[in-house]
Structure 1
């Protein structure tokens, strides 16, 4: 596949822009591929294609839309092996995690959206009015690098099923994965203009996309700082917004909590994917009576998460996405140590590469690192004095994306109700596709996943007929 192409109006075409972006493998700094760095002319072509296609796609019978997406999902499954190789190379993700989570889970979610859509009520009749859910129009989907196919699925699939057309702008760190996703739709003959792909980087490109009057909605996943910029620019024309942003998610361990469950949960959440997960449980809040036991448990197990050869099936953790990301993480850790944090588990590697070993820091609740997102495998342990103190610490950030409570069920549920967070896990509860995902406060606007994932891409209309 030629990655130095854009997908616009049903065809892979050369960009008007002659500028390109080299995609770098963070594990060995080799060039994975080259993609276009699109300009305003390319953006206009993509958005106009989506605009011109939206009426026909909205009027396409739902059963026909379902067929297109089901066929595309099957094509994507056929590409699983190639996707595994690309995600491993673009992201520095180890093979087992790549296969299971990055690729297979993404395709599984794709299929579940298709199945769930068939039970969604796009029209309901009440006594004296009809409630209709209608497509918004042209959706701009801006996706991050940390889950390069999963996040594309979360936005593009429900948007298309609901009858919207889409312009997809993936991260410039991991854009090649998106080429495979779009190629799956190309192979099944999706009508021209329904799905378009624009690659590139920089404020100028994003500004052209966001401000275009023909974009009706923006769905963005990324940092809170960028989300604020998008919100301000999009607000000038009152575009619909769905923002899934940063987090500093707490795990509160109650006095009667199971330490093994707590430590396993936070290490998997904070260390897998090299800590590059917006909902990572990056703070573990413990009472004084459990502090030493928790530290020892993590010390005994942190070596399991040591970065190693990506192709080795036993490797749990790979590299960070880039050396630049490592410098950001390293800078926050060094600042925390200067502020008085102590390194309790793991070791700090300052070498000139993208490898950062998972670590545990003991921090005070008012430290910068205790309240701000690191986006790396850095777990912060904070001691609390009382249950009220624990809840206050959990809520004392600008974020509210995810959380967990470990303890007896009844007490854990009561604590969960007091945490300002879009999701709260109780003990060993697994993640659920059906449950809405999204945040309070500066963690975003809107929800993804399950039936709620459709609501974001629909307008609500009441027809009064009484």
Structure 2
């Protein structure tokens, strides 16, 4: 596609200021299949200037006009959904069935949700003699990750536009191509020039320039906690708002009254979904000590049934991880788990048999894990599950909360009231009870080092608004 090596700035596809390019690697073949331009601070500045020029007019558009725009975007997105799914599969290795049914289907749901949220959102309220108005914060910089690439673009762009903000987006350079297609969709849907701008590039260059730019009013970042700290520090000098959705090491508490076979099986499947590359994956399974040996057997049998292979095959459940760097990190942490004395129930270091080419990881389950081990504390971001024993309910809650992260937690119980009581005690932004269906309007974000701010639902819209109190308004 011609646009992959250009940036979308002020309503046009333009050449970068400097001729620096990077190959996009297909993780299933380890070979390049596309090329993107790498931006600079000059490209960011041009995009910010365009967004600033567009802000006054766009921020005054009506709610009805914004909803009509989102309806056009939804129609075009549905038309191009399979094309986007194919791109996501090639750029980050998501199995094609998962790319269609999850990676892009969530985007359709978010588009449908934002129209309803916007139609019912109250942008002002009266409090005594004071009128409290909620106004767009201004120009926002959005930095998105590679693991759910188009979903995370959608989760940031939609509420920002709904709030009346103008945008500079930097998608992950590992999986940037879906964002280019989305820029084409926004353009086709009739978005005014400068309202949305796209600059590809590396975090330390483009991301840093966005975070520190004095004319960007807010940065929303999704990625690792380490990179999130860097974004916050770069943003501090200009006192801009920063929202972050960062790492996780989510506990999955299986209380002692569960149907163990179902709870363990579903927990393994949930952990391994997207090849384990989800920040809210239930990567620490907590099982009552009396059922621990049985749980390990069930988990092993489940893991061996997870088909690893070519992500273009509709039957594939686990594709490769997204990059060579990610593959190496996972291998290092699996090796560290072995060194620390955890038991490899299945999987381990190296690639699955017959898959010598591609960044494929053996689905791995560790037993006899203690919560002070690196594999129980660090985000591995691959198909690796740690199973830990606990003694009683209080012990399970203590272990679950004993982590620097707080993005998500999971509770399984035959007694819904018991599960709810445990959920209340978990320090996490999302708690999933008995493997519920996904909810497009549930706010998503974390406690502690998992970040701040929320995405999805009406909370996402609030993140992009300033509060103005007009005292004496009457």
Deviation at 1:292, TM superposition (A): 1.3
What's 1:452 paired with? 459
CA distance in 1, matches of 2:270, 2:132: 40
Q: Is the 8 A contact 1:131 1:463 kept in 2?
A: yes
Structure 1: state its 5+ residue gaps.
none
RMSD (Å), alpha carbons: 1.3
**In structure 1, distance between residues paired with 2:81 and 2:458:** 26
Match of 2:431 in 1: 424
Separation (CA, whole Å) in 1 of partners of 2:142 and 2:420: 35
- The aligned runs of 1:211-226 (5 Å cut-off) are 211-226=212-227
| Counterpart check, 1:359 vs 2:360 | no
- How far, CA to CA, are the matches of 2:193 and 2:85 in structure 1? 28
Q: Give the aligned partner of residue 410 of structure 2.
A: 404
Whether the 8 Å contact between 1:134 and 1:460 is mirrored in structure 2 is: yes
- For residue 436 of structure 2, give the secondary structure of its aligned residue in structure 1: coil
Which structure 2 segments of 5+ residues have no match? none
Q: Does residue 377 of the first structure (1) align with residue 383 of the second (2)?
A: yes
Q: Which residue of 2 aligns with 1:193?
A: 194
Query: Mapping of 1:30-429 within 5 angstroms?
Result: 30-350=31-351, 353-362=358-367, 363-407=369-413, 408-429=415-436
User: TM-score by structure 2 length?
Assistant: 0.96
Moved over 4 A (4+): none
User: 2:30 touches 2:357 (CA, 8 Å); kept in 1?
Assistant: no
Deviations 1:263-321 (A, max 9, x none): 23322221010000000000001111111121111112112223112222221111100
How many residue pairs are counted as aligned between the two chains?
A: 466
Q: Secondary structure at the match of 1:213?
A: coil
Q: For residue 142 of structure 2, give the secondary structure of its aligned residue in structure 1.
A: strand
Deviation sequence 1:120-166 (CA, Å, 0-9, x none): 11112333222211100001000000011000000001100110000
| Cα distance change, pair 399–212 in 1 and its aligned pair in 2 (3 A) | same
Check the 8 A contact 1:261/1:427 in 2, yes or no: no
Secondary structure at the aligned position of 2:454 is classed as coil
Counterpart in the other structure of 2:21: 20
2:65 & 2:14 partners in 1: Cα distance?
27
Between the aligned partners of 1:297 and 1:454, the Cα distance in structure 2 is 42
Match of 1:29 in 2: 30
Contact 1:372–1:397 (Cα < 8 Å) also in 2: no
Alpha-carbon shift at residue 418 of structure 1 (Å): 1.0
C-alpha displacement of 1:384:
1.1
* TM-score (normalizing by structure 1): 0.97
Q: Is contact 1:306–1:357 with CA below 8 Å preserved after alignment?
A: no
- CA distance in 1 between counterparts of 2:35 and 2:125 reads 48
